[in-house]
Amino acid sequence: MARVELLNRELSWLEFNLRVLQEASDTSVPLIERLRFLGIYSNNLDEFYRVRVATLKRMVRIRNKEIKQLQFNPAQVLKQVLETEKQNQNKFTYVFEHLIELLAREQIYLVNEQQLTDRQLQYVESYFREHVRSHLFPMMLANLKDQAILKDKSIYLAIDLKINSDPGHNDYALIRVPTPPLSRFIVLPSENGTDSIILLDDVIRVGLKDIFSAFGYDHFDAYTIKLTRDSELDLEGDLSRSFIEILTESLKQRKAGTPVRFIYDRKMPLALVYMLLKKLNLSKHDSISEGGRYHNFKDFMRFPDLGRNELCYPPCPPLAHPVLEAGQNIFDLLRQRDIMLHYPYQSFRHIIDLLRQASIDPNVRAIKMTLYRVAQFSNVINALINAVRNGKEVTVFLEVQARFDEEANLYWSEKLLEEGVKVIKAIPGIKVHCKLLLIRRKENNQNIYYANITTGNFNEQTARVYADDSLLTADQKIAGEVNRVFYLIESKTQTPEFKDLIVAPFGMRERFIRMLNREIRKARQGKEAWAIIKLNSLADQKIISHLYRASQAGVKLRLIVRGICMLVPGIGGLSDNIEVISIVDKYLEHSRVMVFCNAGKNKYYISSADWMVRNFDNRIEVACPIKAPVLQKQIRQMLEIQWRDNVKARIVNSGDQNVYRPKRHPVIRAQEEIYYYIRQQSS
């Protein structure tokens, strides 16, 4: 058995998020897009604290005996994480300040309340009275009894209230900055050909006198604070309560979850800092950080473009698939050939068209679908409801345990039930993460199945920015096994056999290990042996061990891993036949694709699953073979383009992290090249 060298999962994730920060630093990225990458970095970090840092802190609190059973010291890792994140935060601050300078060179100014001209001040005061004041509900800090009142994902202004005629009198208040429903960015009237933007925080600072002067206060200083909470849900409950009841109660508890991070403006008076820490029941053992004037940079994902198209990515409208032309019967097309869509390069509307056609086709009897995250205004949901209204039998598994989308999914679950859709209840302890659509059609008195198996969510919003692969097929072997997956989800008891599909948690890890072992045998026989594996995350020790074994046997392994990669490539005698790159660019690389040499008869798979313990053991996931030679060629071409990327590809190795591949001729930026490739294929 190969020895196993592993990078720590949390530190590997921080390296991934640093790649996002690199995009904000990259001078080839348009300026406004660089600001939006700061927002993505910040949003990622918030989730990391809510989930991973919170988990580490809980691990630190467990008994020593249990710690010894872990393969790492959680206290030590937590210390490394916090130290690394502090260094990264310094880099973040530098990048932000530099981008503000670059905005100024473009005659775009991010101004605060003290930098307003008289005309701008009048506009802001009017904007405050008309749009902001009605959303503000101050809390006097002295009256604060329950720290759970402070919401996660929000920022607050901690306000130092004074009366100039009574210097010894001090009061403190808290005001939530109301985003949502308001925008964080207010564009001011243009002056002298320049554009100015003020943050909502500073608009509130302008209006503090309107709120507090009635109580005799005449001096106000406001400082931003932010509290991040443990987001883990307690789904253990008594058997007399339904899982939905337990989940709903746990969501309420999440809002009062244990604080895992507290950030405050470093200019805040110490007396106010100490009072906040006392009221929030925080101590020196908690993650308490000094910050700057502004927090919640996740809002910068929606930084306004101001009509400055040259400062944003040029538009790349999704391409229509050449076969799925408007007005054609999609079922007739699928009986002739498999079709694959590649988002966001191709349009998600083809899936809406398929659902619409299925909803009115007199021969369609039933539609089944798994939903994990849906769009805020979902045409997928609308199409399913329309199918019910047209007399179709519609069954949906809507995963209410999708992290941070639980409340939205509970809402959609109720909406679908009201409209007559059969909604399959959640499965406690296991998530349904596979992305499947199945349509049953009566043809010549037989049930014929049509399936859509995809690596990403049925979500028209994320399909514009997530790079995913989606197979449409009438292959009855595959579609029939998709039907068995739905039977598995509905029955929750018997496990059907699968030959074409690979289904977790029923041996997916073992199937891929067998494929690696086949490559190992061929390599030891001196024959061609290789695999190309594209994932979001690689964090399963058992399969990493077999990847090392394959490398030692001489199997050539090329890995494209966007995020966490616990495998360490390039170690002599262990992983010197493994190369790993990570691509972070305009679109989020989200597809999972595996290609195995298989003695020259290459095997191709797309999958909903990353190679992580949770995906193999605690989720229902599906990997689907791609059989059509034309689609295999397409996948291989796209993987080769990505492997040759020398603009956005970073080399993952045991030394310096996040080093860009050296640029050479020809210059290849994979996401641009794939768009051109698919456009060429479409023509």
Helix (H) or strand (E) holding 243, with range, is: helix 243-254
Residues 87/265, Cβ–Cβ less than 8 Å: no
Where residue 548 falls (left for φ over 0; alpha for ψ -120 to 50; beta otherwise) is: alpha
What is the sign, positive or negative, of the torsion defined by CA atoms of 16, 232, 542, 482? Answer: negative
Say whether 350 is catalytic: no
Dmax over CA atoms of the chain, in Å, equals 91
Query: Using omega within 30 degrees of 0 as the cis cutoff, is the peptide bond preceding 180 cis?
Result: yes
Antiparallel, parallel or unpaired: β 588-589 and 592-596: unpaired
Backbone dihedral angles phi then psi of residue 194, each to the nearest 5 degrees: -110, 160
Map tokens 């205004």 to a residue. Answer: 377
Map tokens 């302008």 to a residue. Answer: 206
Query: Using omega within 30 degrees of 0 as the cis cutoff, is the peptide bond preceding 181 cis?
Result: yes
Structure-token pair, residue 280: 């929030």
For residues 595 and 532, give the distance between their C-alpha atoms in angstroms, rounded to a whole number: 5
Catalytic-labelled residue, pool 321, 342, 350, 433: 433
Residues 548/2, Cβ–Cβ less than 8 Å: yes
The residue among 271, 485, 258, 476 whose CA lies nearest residue 369 is 485
Query: Using omega within 30 degrees of 0 as the cis cutoff, is the peptide bond preceding 362 cis?
Result: no
Structure-token pair, residue 466: 């997530």
Residues 658/15, Cβ–Cβ less than 8 Å: yes
Helix, strand, coil percent values for the chain (each to nearest 5): 40, 25, 35
Written as one string, the DSSP assignment of 172-234 is: EEEEE--TTTS-SEEEEEEETTEEEEEEHHHHHHHHHHHHHGGGT--EEEEEEEEEEE-----
Alpha helices (H) along 527-628: 541-553, 613-617
Instruction: Give the burial string for 135-144 (b: 16+ CB within 10 Å, else e).
Output: bbeeeebeeb
Looking at residue 132, the DSSP 8-state letter turns out to be: I
Helix (H) or strand (E) holding 535, with range, is: strand 530-535
Which amino acid type is present at position 583?
I
**Number of other residues whose CB lies within 10 A of the CB of residue 538:** 24
Residues 394/367, Cβ–Cβ less than 8 Å: yes
Q: How many alpha carbons lie under 13 Å from residue 44 in its C-beta half-sphere?
A: 21
Map tokens 């989606």 to a residue. Answer: 470
**Number of other residues whose CB lies within 10 A of the CB of residue 341:** 23
Query: Using omega within 30 degrees of 0 as the cis cutoff, is the peptide bond preceding 666 cis?
Result: yes
Tell me the helices (H) and strands (E) count for the chain, helix number first. 19, 27
For residues 566 and 652, give the distance between their C-alpha atoms in angstroms, rounded to a whole number: 10
Q: How many alpha carbons lie under 13 Å from residue 230 in its C-beta half-sphere?
A: 19
Written as one string, the DSSP assignment of 11-52 is: HHHHHHHHHHHHHHH-TTS-HHHHHHHHHHHHHHHHHHIIII
Structure-token pair, residue 664: 């050479």
Residues 225/262, Cβ–Cβ less than 8 Å: yes
Provide the annotated active-site residues. 433
